[in-house]
Amino acid sequence: MKTDDAIALGVPHILLPKPGIDLGKWAVIACDQFTSEPEYWDRVRDYVGDAPSALNLIYPEVYLGEPEAESRIRRIREHMMRYLEEGIFIEAEGFVYVERRTGQGVRRGLMACLDLECYDYSRGATSLIRATEGTILERIPPRVKIREGAPLEIPHIMVLIDDPGGTVIGPLAEVKSRLRCLYDFDLMMDSGHVAGFQVDDERLEKGVIGALRALADPAAFVSRYGLAPQTPVLLYAMGDGNHSLATAKAIWEKTKEKAGGSAEVRNSPLRYALVELVNLHDPALVFEPIHRVLFDIRAERDIVGEMKAFYAGRVRWIPSRSVDEMKAAVDRQAGTPHKIGMIQSSGFGVIEVADPKTNLPVGTLQNFLDAFMNEKGAREIDYVHGTEAVLKLGRQAGCAGFYLPAMDKRELFRTVILDGALPRKTFSMGEAPDKRFYLEARRLISLSP
């Protein structure tokens, strides 16, 4: 694989299903979507049937905690080996320019490999590749079980670049008609359309690398954000799939440790992870909030009352006459106080917190919810995408939904540079159907002859 260490980039060898395989059944949405809606995944299973599908290569998080987890992981590994041995893949070398049509328009991306040596998901990291939200460490070990020793990876990871001039991906869109089309089809479950084009022109490849190098230039970087000289460059910020990338990082570190410093391991495929790069300024890239839902709240617990105590009387409860009134109050807020919508079977309202100590309403809410869950105030907390989901689940008996405002995406890089990672599950790049689908794969381990 061709690499550029200065920008932590690799030009991938991508595996795609060979002609004749139904890509509409092959491609499946990210595993961390519809986690409280098993009926969605039931429909996917029914639709896929016995056809070759990425569904057989992933672990949908809706099933986490099931008693037969090890059996599911074993079946995932068996399907990976079978698909490789049966030769269902073809290989394409080079970047892949991606166009994904959603309800927001056409989102443009670039499939590439990133060097895990340059990724650090810890708070306060200064690496070239950084997490944008807090990483939940307990979510990594189950993923390690799936990826460790797996013969291939099939990612849903999306990584952001801050490229207001559109210098990296924009030139590829302009010459799309000259590129070889690798796939072009409708996605299942009314999730839009996706097309991919092979970037096998050396001049275009050099253009991508040169544009990324320009973004990573230290002088240009500090000037762009008004930073102090010598501030470490942030070139790639995690969008979706942070825990998947963190898993790949954990396995790479373990691989290095096991190799005992051997130089040979430095060229291992495990050093890199396949991702889709997306420009933060893409008009079709919309930041949506990630809402919260509590399930089976203990009968004696009073959420609003406890939040008033947690924030020492700085909380006010404002009942809403309708969902629209609640949403409007939350969506139009600016600065302080922080406003958080709350949905229960008894009705709707807005929790208003004066003089908050965090920058975003999501941080104000999460600090309380962490303490509430530590005291076993509810059986479970889930993080859901989309207004319909939080309204539907919050209205159920014994539950509570929390509706949050969207973050201004233009502030993402500056905030991560100056303040570090945001509270976990702060934003979502689009609603659930807009998420990246598993489609392209990459070989991690060679099969024995």
| pLDDT tens over the chain, length 449 residues | 999 999 999 999 999 999 999 999 999 999 999 988 999 999 999 999 999 999 999 999 999 888 888 899 999 999 999 999 999 999 999 999 999 999 999 999 999 999 999 999 888 899 999 999 877 766 677 788 888 889 999 999 999 999 999 999 999 999 999 999 999 999 999 999 999 999 999 999 999 999 999 999 999 999 999 999 999 999 999 999 888 999 999 999 999 998 887 777 888 999 999 999 999 999 999 998 999 999 999 999 999 999 999 999 899 999 999 999 999 999 999 889 999 999 999 999 999 999 998 888 998 999 999 999 999 999 999 999 889 999 999 999 999 999 999 988 988 999 899 888 888 788 888 888 999 999 999 999 865 44
The answer to whether 271 and 117 are in contact (CB under 8 A) is yes
User: Does CATH place domain 288-405 in 3.40.50.10490?
Assistant: no
The full set of domain ranges for the chain reads: 3-285+431-443, 288-405
Q: Beta-carbon neighbour count of residue 345 at 10 Å?
A: 11
Look at residue 448 in the predicted model and tell me its pLDDT. Answer: 44
Look at residue 422 in the predicted model and tell me its pLDDT. Answer: 86
Kindly state the tokens that stand for 97: 């320019």
Look at residue 449 in the predicted model and tell me its pLDDT. Answer: 40
The answer to whether 352 and 365 are in contact (CB under 8 A) is no
The answer to whether 132 and 422 are in contact (CB under 8 A) is yes
SS (H, E, C) the chain: CCEEHHHCEECCEEEEECCCCCHHHHCEECCCCCCCCHHHHHHHHHHHCCCCCHHHHCCCHHHCCCCCHHHHHHHHHHHHHHHHHCCCEEEEECEEEEEEEECCEEEEEEEEEEEHHHEECCCCCCCCEECCECCCHHHHHHHHHHHCCCCEECCCCEEEECCCCCCCCHHHHHCHHHCEEEEEEECCCCCCEEEEEEECCHHHHHHHHHHHHHHCCHHHHHHHHCCCCCCCCCCEEEEECHHHHHHHHHHHHHHHHHHCCCHHHHHCHHHEEEEEEEECCCCCCCEEEEEEEEEEECCCCCHHHHHHHHCCCCEEEEEECCHHHHHHHHHCCCCCCEEEEEEECCEEEEEEECCCCCCCHHHHHHHHHHHHHHCCCEEEEEEEECHHHHHHHHCCCCCEEEECCCCCHHHHHHHHHHHCCECCCCEEECCHHHCCEECCEEECCCCCC
